Amino acid sequence: MKFKLLSLAISSAFLTLSGLANAQTTLTAAVDYTLRNNPDVAIEARQRRSVDEALLGAYSGYMPKVDLGWGIGKEKAKNSNTAYQWSDSLTRREKSVTLSQMLFDSFATANEVARNRARMQSSAYKVSGTAEQIALKVVESYLDVLRLRENVRLTQENLQNHQKTYDQISLRATSGIGRQSDVDQAEARLALAKSNLVSAEANLRDAEINYQRFTGKHPDELIQPDGPTDEIMPKNLEDALVKARENNPLLKQSKADIEAANAQYNAAKSAFGPRFDLQAGMNYTDDSGGVEGPNDSKYAMIRMNWNILRGGADYARLGETKQLSYQAMEIMKRTMMQLDQSTSLSWNTFVSAHERLPSLLQHAESSLATRDAYTKQFSIGQRTLVDLLDTENEYYTSTVEYVNGQYMELFARYRLMADMGTLLASLNVKPLVESDPARRVEHSNPWTRSDYKKEEKKQAALMQEEPAQPELEADPVIKPETAKPVEEKSSLDKEPVLKPQPDLTANPDKK
């Protein structure tokens, strides 16, 4: 007992020192960094900013407009001033200034503002939805790296146990008290254990590459997350569906698209109404109309323009926008159906993974007890070598399945959070400013390209930076980043990775 406590203390100290020596990354930090550097999120954020500028342009319909005019050229005139004879060629000069203020445009500007405001909200929700989806992919790749690192550790432990068995059998055969067939059997299982380690390490490298794809960084010392607490998890499927319909940003985006399409339809109606403008201006001309000298004028008036016929173009445009509004409604229906399906699948995965954990744990514990008993019985000749090797493999398989089950249940929790639109909140990640649909992002100066030059320098630095690659080793040895001290006790004696699970009824879909 004292030896185990001492071993545990030394192991804990080793892990602490190794954690301090290596860079550590939390899941929250990984997601936060990705959202602010991932190009998929940046694309939607830039689109949101462009729609903000379009909304600013739509408001310009309410503002006055000032036009300046100037011209110079040659003119000949034939009118009453020239006795209806062609005048001599004169050098005509013009200068003008016109002020226009829209008084009424059959609500075209109002509907255009409403359309762009709805587009702004749609873009904001799209940024939020993209951020949630990218965050979920980061969570998945993050947990995969942790899971496969644990699998590599278990596979290394399995290889060490097979190596010990092989050495013991070889020693017996060398001493003349063992059979060569037992040596061959132990050697075959040892080769399989080595093959399993190579496969586990290859899977780990794939997971690390996938992690780097989303985050842009090679995974360092990743810290085990606690996962969403039971308080924020839905109580049943109906609760999950209600929260998903209320908070999912992609569903909110589809609703905003309907508002934009309806505003576009109303804006198309304005082409059938009149437009009134207040205009004031001054015109200065010299040598015009065949008469030398100035010919100036000033005016202030109300102008009406009402198009009566445009060849049916306005009518066709109205029909087009009507169908687009119907299309937006069908897209929202499809989005809702997909959301319900995704939420139901996530809930089903969570429930099944949660219910499997106790059985997987019992299987692993029983396999451990059986292996230890068979090891003692084999040493006194009550069990065959095949029995011993079979129990060793069963113990290895059961522990790997238990670890995989834990991470499957943990990821199912995060997936439910993403379906309900609360993944970033559950991770305590601050959302991007572009995901706020209630206000415009601050206006930027469109005349300057200084921010673009900064992005160019940043991208150039990333292109020149040599990507980190995992080291490939010829022989299956324990790597520093995945190695853990092997204690005398089994890995099942450690504290479980996850927190205590909530009590779920046999039929979780009913309240």
The Cα–Cα gap between 436 and 48 comes to 10
How far lies 149's CA from each of 332, 336, 405, 488, in Å?
41, 38, 15, 20
Cβ atoms of residues 510 and 236 within 8 Å: yes
CB 252 within 8 A of CB 39: no
Tally Cβ neighbours within 10 Å of residue 82.
Answer: 15
| pLDDT value of position 390 | 85
Give the pLDDT score at 86. 87
**pTM metric for this prediction:** 0.80
Rounded-to-integer distance, Cα 343 and Cα 352, Å:
14
At residue 81, the pLDDT reads 79
Spell out the domains of the chain, with CATH numbers in brackets.
27-67+104-273+313-438 (1.20.1600.10)
| pLDDT recorded at residue 448 | 79
What is the residue-level pLDDT of the chain in tens, covering all 511 positions?
333 333 433 344 333 333 333 468 899 999 999 999 999 999 999 999 999 999 999 999 999 999 999 999 998 888 877 778 888 888 999 999 999 999 999 999 999 999 999 999 999 999 999 999 999 999 999 999 999 999 999 999 999 988 988 888 888 777 777 678 878 888 898 999 999 999 999 999 999 999 999 998 999 999 999 999 889 999 999 999 999 999 999 999 999 999 999 999 999 999 999 999 999 999 999 878 777 888 889 999 999 999 999 999 999 999 999 999 999 999 999 999 999 999 999 999 999 999 999 999 999 999 999 888 888 887 777 777 888 888 888 999 999 999 999 999 999 999 999 999 999 999 999 999 999 998 888 777 788 777 666 666 666 665 555 554 444 443 433 333 333 333 334 433 443 333 344 444 434 443 3
Q: What pLDDT is attached to residue 90?
A: 87
Distance CA 89, CA 92 (A): 9
Return the pLDDT at 504: 40
